[in-house]
Structures are given as structure tokens and as C-alpha cells.
């Protein structure tokens, strides 16, 4: 079996020679293997790659090719897709160019995929034997953990066996992909591949230790983090927007019922309690029917238990949110309206994660 190693690069000059040296050793004994850089660099990285490619050709080592893009369409993800389009082998391995991904594992991933009849083999930091070591700082580690949890709650079926859907290191069988269906943007190309396609792919995982960067600096930015949220929203547009619409409609029911009952002469507090009870029940029924229907038969909870969990969480969330609103407004003196807006957005995500990750799991 032959493989192509696809390496997206953006200003990685100091790392190219070392990466190729180690890949060359790892790929020895894999006939027809090659390395393909997809480069968007704005510095001298392309000439470094060209020089290393010439050296490889002269020494008879693993061939090195490069696609250099003047327009970095789709960033890292776009580069990976462009690379995958140009691959001639049955399997490709995608990995970073900064040696945070051990090159020695490239062949292990692809071999495992072929022997086990899989479509994708994910190199994971989060299964036994793996480690996120090279993620600098507690903050980035926490962001990484939360981001993975978010992705997994949005795709409980597709990502059931994928502990690290945001890794940039994986092997993929080209025949299993529909590259035209992807909308690559930002950093999270594996998630795009696993979540976007019509068909669920057969996925396996191998542990790996995320190392330190060899040279240069990281290109991850806050903007890429925001792009990730955009990507999740676009991937889950259906489920998330139905969840949001039902939640928004709940507020409208609530006010209408309160209005009708008080007009009929009821005390407003009693009316508010009835309005809340009706809204909560109706929302729950709609959510079962229109948001999580595909998961109903698969989870661990029966109907009443789901209802109890959902009502308890939403009730608690509302109380806690109101207390937090009071705290922030009192302590900071901010205007309550935007604070409430931000809190509602966070609450929306929390409710969504809680329901898909707990109630309907
Ligand atoms: N062609 C191209 N175009 N390559 C890019 C671009 C781009 O716009 N942006 C980044 N890259 C390349 C880098 O040169 C590097 O080879 C690789 O993509 C990863 O970029 P890093 O800057 O090293 O990112 P990181 O280490 O912070 O993030 C890595 O780990 C994340 C998980 O924590 C990546 O593998 C991410 O995909 C992964 O989600
Ligand atoms: Mn890196």
C-alpha cells in the first residue's frame, strides 16, 4: 500500500528539512510513498521546500512535491482539501508541518486503516496512551477540551468513537471522501470530513503524544476559535436552529398565556406559574418531536426521566442566570440589557450541550 503525506504549511521554513528527514526514515519500505506540501507561506518557506525537494530527488529519498497557493483560500482546511484533491494514492495522511505530530506514526495510521477496513484513522491525544502535552498552557488545554466536548455533543452519533475530532493528524481513504461536499474554512478539517458527508465514515483511533513545536510559532488565533463556532453552527444548522426557534417560541407562548389569564381576571403570579408550566411542557414535547427525534430510541433515559432532567436543568439554569445577571450588573455597573443578551447566548449553548450530551445520550 502506498501513501501520500499531505502537509499544510504557513511560514514553516525552520521545520521543513527536519520534517522531511524524519518522514523519509518513516516511509522507507513504503514503495510509491511521497510527501505533498500545500503551502500558503508569505516568507521564504517555498524556496526551502524546493531546495529540500531537490535534495530528496538527488539522494533517491522519498519524493517531495509542493503546491504553492498565492491565494490562501479556506486557510489551513482549504489547503488540506486542495492537497487531498491532488493525491494519487489510495490513502493519505494529513499532518502539521511543525513536528508536533510524530512523523513515525504516519505509516502506522494508514496501515491500521487498511488492515482494519476503515475510512479514517484519527491520531488522538485523548485516548489511553495519548497526551496533549504540547498544547501550551492550561488555558489552551481547557479550550481544547471544551471545544472537543462541544463538537461531540453536536454529533453524538457521528463522533461516538472519536475522542479527538479536532486533531490535525489523521489518515484517510480517498475513496471514502466527497471533497466537493466540504466547506473548508478555518482549522478543523477533520470535523468537516467526519460531520459534513452524507454517509457516516468508519473511524478508528490511535493514541499519540502532541509534541512541542520544532521551530517557528503557532498560527492559531482567537479568530480561528470563532471560526470554529461558525463551523459548528453551519454543520448543525438544522438541529441548532430548531432548538433555538422552539426556545424563542416558548418565550412568546409564555407572554401570551400570561396576558390571556390576567385579562380573564387571574392574579399575575398564579398566571405566571401556569404560563411557565405550559411553556415548559410544550417546549419539551416540541423538542422531542423536532430536535432530537433521531436520538430517541438510542439513549439511556426513558420519556419521564428525560422530562425530569430537561425541566430541572432549564429551571436551574434560569435561576442561576438571573443571579449571575444581578451580580455582574451590580459589580460592574454595566447596562443589564447587553449583559442579559450575552448570558442568554451562553445559556443557549449550555442548554444545547446538556440536552444532546446528557438528556438524549
Ligand atoms: N497552507 C496553510 N495555510 N497552512 C496553514 C495555515 C494556512 O492558512 N495556517 C496554519 N497552517 C499550517 C501550519 O503551518 C502548521 O503546519 C499547521 O497548519 C498547524 O498550524 P499551527 O499553527 O501549528 O497550529 P496549532 O499547533 O496551534 O494547531 C494544531 O493543533 C490543533 C489541535 O489543538 C493543528 O493541528 C490544528 O488543526 C489542531 O486543531
Ligand atoms: Mn502546531
Question: How far apart are alpha carbons 358 and 63 in whole angstroms?
Answer: 49
Tell me, what's the pLDDT at 240? 87
pLDDT of residue 157: 86
- Percent of the chain predicted with pLDDT > 70: 100
C-alpha 69 – ligand 1 centre gap (Å): 16
Task: Give the span between the Cα atoms of 124 and 121, in whole angstroms.
Answer: 9
46 Cα: distance to centroid of ligand 2 (angstroms): 18
The protein residue with its alpha carbon nearest to ligand 1, atom 28, reads 220
CB under 6 Å to ligand 1: residues?
A: 8-10, 12, 38-40, 72, 75-76, 79, 96-98, 100, 135, 144, 166-168, 187-188, 218-220
Give the per-residue pLDDT at 349.
86
Atom of ligand 1 nearest to the CA of 7: 16
User: Of all residues in the chain, what percent carry a pLDDT higher than 90?
Assistant: 68
- 257-289 as b/e: b if 16+ CB within 10 A: bbeebeeeeeeeeebbeebbebbbebbbebbbe
The pick from 35, 147, 187 for probing ligand 1's pocket by mutation, whose C-beta has the most ligand atoms within 8 angstroms, reads: 187
Q: What is the pLDDT of residue 340?
A: 86
pLDDT given at position 79: 98
Which pLDDT does position 261 carry in this prediction? 94
> ipTM more than 0.90?
yes
User: Helix, strand, or coil here: 126?
Assistant: coil
Task: State residue 198's pLDDT score.
Answer: 82
Query: pLDDT tens, 135-167?
Result: 778 888 888 988 998 899 888 889 989 999 999
Q: What is the pLDDT of residues 44-95, one digit of tens each?
A: 999 999 999 999 999 999 999 999 999 999 999 999 999 999 999 999 999 9
CA of 219 to the centre of ligand 1 (A): 6
pLDDT at 361: 84
Which residues does the chain have with pLDDT short of 50? none
Secondary structure element (H or E) that encloses residue 172, with its range: strand 170-173
Amino acid at each position: 500500500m502506498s501513501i501520500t503525506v499531505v502537509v499544510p504549511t504557513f511560514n514553516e521554513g525552520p521545520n521543513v528539512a527536519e520534517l522531511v528527514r524524519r518522514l523519509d526514515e518513516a516511509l522507507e519500505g513504503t514503495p510509491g510513498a511521497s510527501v505533498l506540501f500545500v503551502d500558503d507561506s508569505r516568507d521564504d518557506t517555498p524556496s526551502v521546500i524546493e531546495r529540500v525537494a531537490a535534495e530528496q530527488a538527488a539522494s533517491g529519498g522519498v519524493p517531495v512535491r509542493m503546491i504553492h497557493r498565492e491565494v490562501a483560500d479556506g486557510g489551513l482546511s482549504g489547503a488540506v482539501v486542495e492537497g487531498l484533491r491532488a493525491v494519487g494514492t489510495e490513502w493519505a495522511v494529513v499532518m502539521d508541518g511543525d513536528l508536533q505530530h510524530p512523523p513515525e506514526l504516519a505509516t502506522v495510521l494508514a496501515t491500521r486503516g487498511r488492515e482494519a477496513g476503515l475510512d479514517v484513522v484519527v491520531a488522538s491525544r485523548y485516548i489511553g496512551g495519548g497526551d496533549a502535552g504540547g498544547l501550551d498552557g492550561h488555558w489552551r488545554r481547557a479550550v481544547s477540551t471544551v471545544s472537543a466536548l462541544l463538537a461531540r455533543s453536536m454529533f453524538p452519533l457521528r463522533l461516538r468513537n472519536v475522542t479527538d475530532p479536532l486533531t490535525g493528524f489523521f489518515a484517510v481513504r480517498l475513496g471514502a471522501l466527497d471533497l466537493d461536499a466540504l466547506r473548508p474554512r478555518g482549522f478543523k478539517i477533520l470535523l468537516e470530513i467526519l460531520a459534513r458527508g452524507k454517509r457516516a465514515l468508519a473511524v478508528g483511533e490511535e493514541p499519540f503524544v502532541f509534541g512541542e513545536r520544532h521551530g517557528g510559532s503557532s498560527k492559531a488565533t482567537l479568530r480561528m476559535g470563532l471560526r470554529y463556532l461558525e463551523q459548528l453552527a453551519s454543520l448543525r444548522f438544522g438541529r441548532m436552529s430548531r432548538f433555538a426557534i422552539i426556545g424563542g417560541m416558548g418565550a412568546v407562548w409564555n407572554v401570551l398565556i400570561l396576558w390571556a389569564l390576567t385579562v380573564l381576571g387571574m392574579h399575575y403570579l398564579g398566571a405566571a406559574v401556569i404560563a411557565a408550566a405550559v411553556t415548559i411542557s410544550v417546549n419539551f414535547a416540541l423538542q422531542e418531536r423536532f430536535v432530537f427525534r433521531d436520538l430517541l430510541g438510542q439513549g439511556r433515559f426513558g420519556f419521564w426521566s428525560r422530562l425530569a432532567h430537561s425541566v430541572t436543568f432549564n429551571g436551574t439554569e434560569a435561576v442561576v442566570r438571573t443571579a449571575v445577571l444581578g451580580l455582574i450588573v451590580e459589580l460592574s455597573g454595566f447596562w443589564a440589557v447587553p449583559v442579559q443578551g450575552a448570558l442568554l447566548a451562553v445559556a443557549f449553548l449550555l442548554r444545547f450541550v446538556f440536552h444532546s450530551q446528557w438528556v438524549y445520550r
